[in-house]
A and B are shown apart, each in its own frame.
Chain A
Amino acid sequence: MTAPILELRQATKLYGGVPAIEGVDFSLVEGEIHALVGENGAGKSTLTKVMAGVVPLSSGTMLIAGREVVPRTPLEARQLGVAMVFQENSLVPSMTVAQNLFLGQEKFYNRLRGIYIAAQQFLQSLNFDVPPTATVAQLGAAKKQMVEIARAVLHEARVIIFDEPTASLTPEEKKYFFDLVRELKRRGVSVIFISHALEEALLISDRITVLRDGRHVVTDDTANFDRARVIQAMVGRDLSKTLYAERKAHVRPPGERVLTIENLRMAPMVKNNSLSVFAGQVTGVFGLVGSGRTETFKIAAGILKRDFFHGGEIVLRGRPIRYLTPAPAVRDGIAYVTEDRKVEGFFETMSIARNVYMGLLAKLGRRRPLVLAREAEAVGKKWIEALNVRAIGQDVKVVELSGGNQQKIVIAKSLVQEPTLIVFDEPTRGVDVGAIAEIHQLIDRLAEQGNAVVMISSYLPEIMARSDRILVCRQGKVVEEFSAREATEEKIMYAAIH
């Protein structure tokens, strides 16, 4: 094997003290297509972001062509020959293809005609059928992808990283995309390819690296892998068993059917999705990124809206519902605990008590036109004790709390509304081990009290340990249901991927 063009040695990246990747060794040789696979949260994106200069390493070294480098920005990485094509493309939709190609390389005086001619010649040299004068907004997903690739090649990238490049492509577009990648390889460009679609990784790559829990599991030639071996490497974890029971000992029987979703549609994320949620149970919802699980429950909670025409039906305790805003959903007893607590979960500069009280005000609406400081204090104190929030006092700003305690505040803000259907979206993401156990106990307690609990999680051991029934989403709909007794990590992952 030739010398690696890009190498990471003992790469570690910490977010708030929690490692996203830890001691990862990775190498990429010239003209190689290297697939990077792993579950959500395995560290794939972090690893590639380090290479692309989006985030710096906490420790470890990165070498390009044997020379140690520390790219601090994507521009620096690009100058070193590493470019990344993100899942959500970074093109300016209102500009033309040519303008996007030369964005950031403008001269003092730019002649549009000259740019178009240069772009035309360049795109033709790549055999890309994209008109340089077309505005990017008019292009389909595959053509946008081509422009992204062309831009990377134009910047003389020796390494191009693709993050889920085929997620939004049609089968024909995918075929075309694979031809492009092979063409890049022929030109000596090295490609790192992140994909949840294992058959694609097995089809196109020369080598596969599997990451799990932020650690390197295995790197081998693709010829030595089959689907089963990749899945085994992705899910077979021993670390998790120290924190999560492998399987629930007791499965709670279903109670009343609280929520029924029938043929729900929200293009392009939710496609004819149907499911039920029952009282007195924890319904675990597993799926890879883009499987539509979060969007489905956000629609139920009034945060997103389904398709205007033939968007399907949502029935809450026998009553069809269609919320335009979350407020009526809150009043009807639906609570959605967000996966993105920093953006959607709390007001970081407000105190714990005020944040929790905000949840109560959301439920009371017009019935409570005044903010009562004394009531806010009482509510805050009650929930700090109830959820064991570790803080100096209830006047502490939420931003000053640890991730686990912040998550407890987000949960308290919802539970203060006394909901009967609670949707936890990634409830333990970025949460310390102690708080994870407490949040899990809380989830169990809520189900024992007869509430309908939904737990969306990308973490299989969490799904296995907490759920009474498990729904697996793929491509915008529930494709499989397992009872907690029959579920295994392999079965769930298989359903989520194939």
Chain B
Amino acid sequence: MIAALRAFGDRVLGRGEAAITVPIFDGALKPNQMLADAEIVGQFDDANDIATDGKTLLVADGEQVVRIGDGGGTEIDRFDRGITALHALPDGGLAVALAGEEVRIVGGPSGGRRWTDVGGTPFHAVNAICSMSDGTLAVTDGSRDNDCAHWTHDLMERGANGRLVFLDRGSGAAREGAQGLEYAFGACALGAETLVSESWRHRLLAIEPQGRRRIVLDRLPVYPSRIVAAADGGFWLTAFAARTQLVEFVLREPAFRRRMMKEIAPEHWIAPRLRSGQSFLEPMQGAHLRTMGVLKPWAPPRSYGLVIRLSSEGTPLYSLHSRVDGVNHGIVAAIEVGGFLYMLAKGPGRLIRLALVDIEKEVAA
């Protein structure tokens, strides 16, 4: 009763959960142009994830896995459905998620294993796979209601049924590590714990094997996605869109949202996008800035590109940005290979890269 009254009060006064506020990009998240200036390695029609076997870069593009070499891309495997997550196993072979509904291992000692459900609940939106120190696979299943391609629907429906799943490659056993996550999108080992991105809560959780959760990083101004370990300690966290007050407002207006989802084409919803500026029908948040005494129109970005470098404790150290005037938006994956940081910008369908030494130099400047 008290909670309901408080929620009502918050809604009237615009406080607490009803506060339409967005954290600012400042400190380590201060915007720059580094992603916008990144080298373009390749263009892909339907790339969803990247991985590395330690030597070369692998790209999951539609139904095929492509190895990126000096001479370009070479297909090394092909499946019957689209790949939504890709992971190169430390002892050889690949783990792939197919259409978000099946996790399959190809090659290596545990090749041939496959999982389609855990505890009787089928996979629906598997979007990231990583290896834990004991060889177990940690898998994030974003949503039970919406598949990977319909992540916007999940956000607008305020989905909260994502989960973290552990798959034992040796025995084939599977168990849930956590459930009720608001779009789990990305996992990475942190000792015995698993770091998990919870996109709709804008935070990074550390989840113990027993399921106890600890907030590592929260109130991010973005929707975080996959997370990978950096070679010299710490992590790279990608984010596929930036939060805006307009979207936050819409997320707090269920009636408006329902009507919008019913009557308007999804590409024109007031929702974050992986790319923007394609149509004049796209909704914009009107705003203005006063510069040198003159009011100038301005709109917050509908799409954005961001990669955050985290310390081993999860503290942001610096970040790489593609801002509202950039193209390399919708970053969904990043990984270090051969002295470069490769990133998948799903918005324009680009694989881009930056030399790690250049990043360090730019950050130190």
| Cβ of B68 under 8 Å from chain A | no
Complex CA–CA separation, A263 to B20 (angstroms): 8
Complex CA–CA separation, A274 to B219 (angstroms): 13
| Cβ of B23 under 8 Å from chain A | yes
Q: A255-B315, A308-B13, A498-B291 are in contact. Are A313 and B19 (CB under 8 A)?
A: yes
Q: A278-B27, A310-B19 are in contact. Are A199 and B317 (CB under 8 A)?
A: no
For chain B, residues 16 to 45, give those with C-beta under 8 angstroms from any C-beta of chain A. 16, 19-24, 26-28, 30
| Cβ of B91 under 8 Å from chain A | no
Q: A475, B292: Cβ atoms under 8 Å? A: no
Report B's interface with A, CB cutoff 8 A.
13-16, 19-24, 26-28, 30, 215, 218-219, 245, 290-293, 315-317, 365
Report A's interface with B, CB cutoff 8 A.
197, 199-200, 253-257, 260, 262-263, 274-276, 278, 308-313, 315, 318, 320, 322, 469, 471, 475, 478, 481, 483, 485, 498
B21 to chain A, nearest CB (A): 4
Complex CA–CA separation, A254 to B291 (angstroms): 30
B38 to chain A, nearest CB (A): 21
When distances are taken between beta carbons in the complex, the residues of chain A under 8 Å from B14 are: 309-311
Q: Which residue of B lies closest to A277 (CB)?
A: B27
Complex CA–CA separation, A320 to B28 (angstroms): 21
Q: A257, B27: Cβ atoms under 8 Å? A: yes
Closest 9 CB pairs of A and B: A310-B14, A262-B21, A274-B24, A263-B21, A313-B21, A498-B292, A313-B19, A199-B293, A276-B26
Q: A255-B315, A318-B219, A475-B290 are in contact. Are A260 and B16 (CB under 8 A)?
A: no
When distances are taken between beta carbons in the complex, the residues of chain B under 8 Å from A478 are: 24, 26
Q: Name 14 extra pairs, CB < 8 A, besides A313-B15, A481-B30.
A: A199-B292, A200-B293, A262-B23, A263-B19, A274-B23, A274-B24, A276-B23, A276-B24, A309-B13, A310-B13, A318-B218, A481-B27, A483-B30, A498-B293
Q: Which residue of A lies closest to B365 (CB)?
A: A485
B195 to chain A, nearest CB (A): 17
Q: Which residue of B lies closest to A486 (CB)?
A: B365
Q: B24, A262: Cβ atoms under 8 Å? A: yes
When distances are taken between beta carbons in the complex, the residues of chain B under 8 Å from A310 are: 13-14, 19-20
Cβ-neighbour of B19 out of A197, A253, A312 (below 8 A): A312
When distances are taken between beta carbons in the complex, the residues of chain B under 8 Å from A262 are: 19, 21-24, 219
Complex CA–CA separation, A215 to B322 (angstroms): 46
Q: Which residue of A lies closest to B16 (CB)?
A: A320
Complex CA–CA separation, A318 to B316 (angstroms): 15
B177 to chain A, nearest CB (A): 23
24 contacts between A and B (CB under 8 A): A199-B293, A200-B293, A253-B317, A254-B28, A254-B315, A254-B317, A255-B315, A260-B219, A262-B219, A263-B19, A263-B22, A263-B245, A274-B24, A274-B26, A276-B23, A278-B27, A310-B20, A312-B21, A313-B15, A315-B219, A318-B215, A318-B218, A469-B27, A475-B290
B293 to chain A, nearest CB (A): 5
A262 to chain B, nearest CB (A): 4
When distances are taken between beta carbons in the complex, the residues of chain B under 8 Å from A309 are: 13-14
A397 to chain B, nearest CB (A): 43
When distances are taken between beta carbons in the complex, the residues of chain A under 8 Å from B16 are: 320
When distances are taken between beta carbons in the complex, the residues of chain A under 8 Å from B290 are: 475
Q: A199-B293, A481-B30 are in contact. Are A260 and B13 (CB under 8 A)?
A: no
A95 to chain B, nearest CB (A): 35
Cβ-neighbour of B293 out of A197, A276, A313 (below 8 A): A197
Q: B23, A254: Cβ atoms under 8 Å? A: no
When distances are taken between beta carbons in the complex, the residues of chain A under 8 Å from B30 are: 481, 483
Complex CA–CA separation, A309 to B215 (angstroms): 29
Q: B26, A481: Cβ atoms under 8 Å? A: yes
A349 to chain B, nearest CB (A): 42
When distances are taken between beta carbons in the complex, the residues of chain B under 8 Å from A485 are: 365
Complex CA–CA separation, A224 to B213 (angstroms): 65
When distances are taken between beta carbons in the complex, the residues of chain B under 8 Å from A255 are: 315
Q: Which residue of B lies closest to A494 (CB)?
A: B292
A321 to chain B, nearest CB (A): 11
Complex CA–CA separation, A340 to B218 (angstroms): 36
B229 to chain A, nearest CB (A): 20
Looking at A260, A318, A498, which has the most chain B CB atoms within 10 Å of its CB?
Answer: A260
Complex CA–CA separation, A278 to B24 (angstroms): 13
Complex CA–CA separation, A24 to B291 (angstroms): 33
Complex CA–CA separation, A311 to B20 (angstroms): 10
Complex CA–CA separation, A17 to B288 (angstroms): 47
Cβ-neighbour of A275 out of B15, B22, B24, B245 (below 8 A): B24
Q: Which residue of B lies closest to A281 (CB)?
A: B27
When distances are taken between beta carbons in the complex, the residues of chain A under 8 Å from B315 are: 254-256
Looking at B13, B24, B215, which has the most chain A CB atoms within 10 Å of its CB?
Answer: B24
Q: B215, A275: Cβ atoms under 8 Å? A: no
When distances are taken between beta carbons in the complex, the residues of chain B under 8 Å from A274 are: 21-24, 26
When distances are taken between beta carbons in the complex, the residues of chain B under 8 Å from A481 are: 26-27, 30
B188 to chain A, nearest CB (A): 20
Q: A260, B293: Cβ atoms under 8 Å? A: no
Q: B219, A275: Cβ atoms under 8 Å? A: no
When distances are taken between beta carbons in the complex, the residues of chain A under 8 Å from B20 are: 263, 310
Complex CA–CA separation, A276 to B130 (angstroms): 32
Complex CA–CA separation, A483 to B218 (angstroms): 23
When distances are taken between beta carbons in the complex, the residues of chain A under 8 Å from B27 are: 254, 257, 276, 278, 469, 481
Complex CA–CA separation, A256 to B293 (angstroms): 37
When distances are taken between beta carbons in the complex, the residues of chain B under 8 Å from A308 are: 13
When distances are taken between beta carbons in the complex, the residues of chain B under 8 Å from A315 are: 219
Complex CA–CA separation, A471 to B293 (angstroms): 21
When distances are taken between beta carbons in the complex, the residues of chain A under 8 Å from B365 are: 485
B251 to chain A, nearest CB (A): 15
Complex CA–CA separation, A485 to B219 (angstroms): 27
Complex CA–CA separation, A260 to B29 (angstroms): 13
Complex CA–CA separation, A263 to B219 (angstroms): 13
Complex CA–CA separation, A276 to B316 (angstroms): 13
Q: Which residue of A lies closest to B316 (CB)?
A: A254
Complex CA–CA separation, A475 to B288 (angstroms): 13
A14 to chain B, nearest CB (A): 37
Complex CA–CA separation, A203 to B22 (angstroms): 37
Complex CA–CA separation, A318 to B204 (angstroms): 13
Q: Which residue of B lies closest to A200 (CB)?
A: B293
When distances are taken between beta carbons in the complex, the residues of chain B under 8 Å from A254 are: 27-28, 315-317
When distances are taken between beta carbons in the complex, the residues of chain B under 8 Å from A320 are: 16
When distances are taken between beta carbons in the complex, the residues of chain B under 8 Å from A200 are: 293
B20 to chain A, nearest CB (A): 7
A209 to chain B, nearest CB (A): 22
Q: Which residue of A lies closest to B314 (CB)?
A: A256
Complex CA–CA separation, A498 to B19 (angstroms): 30
Complex CA–CA separation, A483 to B245 (angstroms): 26
When distances are taken between beta carbons in the complex, the residues of chain A under 8 Å from B316 are: 254
Complex CA–CA separation, A320 to B315 (angstroms): 20
Q: A197-B293, A199-B293 are in contact. Are A260 and B23 (CB under 8 A)?
A: yes
When distances are taken between beta carbons in the complex, the residues of chain B under 8 Å from A256 are: 315
When distances are taken between beta carbons in the complex, the residues of chain A under 8 Å from B28 are: 254
Complex CA–CA separation, A26 to B245 (angstroms): 50
B311 to chain A, nearest CB (A): 9
Q: Which residue of A lies closest to B18 (CB)?
A: A310
When distances are taken between beta carbons in the complex, the residues of chain A under 8 Å from B15 are: 311, 313, 322
When distances are taken between beta carbons in the complex, the residues of chain B under 8 Å from A278 are: 27
When distances are taken between beta carbons in the complex, the residues of chain A under 8 Å from B317 are: 253-254
Q: Which residue of A lies closest to B217 (CB)?
A: A257
B224 to chain A, nearest CB (A): 15
Q: Which residue of B lies closest to A497 (CB)?
A: B292
When distances are taken between beta carbons in the complex, the residues of chain A under 8 Å from B293 are: 197, 199-200, 498
B93 to chain A, nearest CB (A): 39
Complex CA–CA separation, A374 to B245 (angstroms): 55
Complex CA–CA separation, A187 to B315 (angstroms): 64
Complex CA–CA separation, A481 to B24 (angstroms): 11
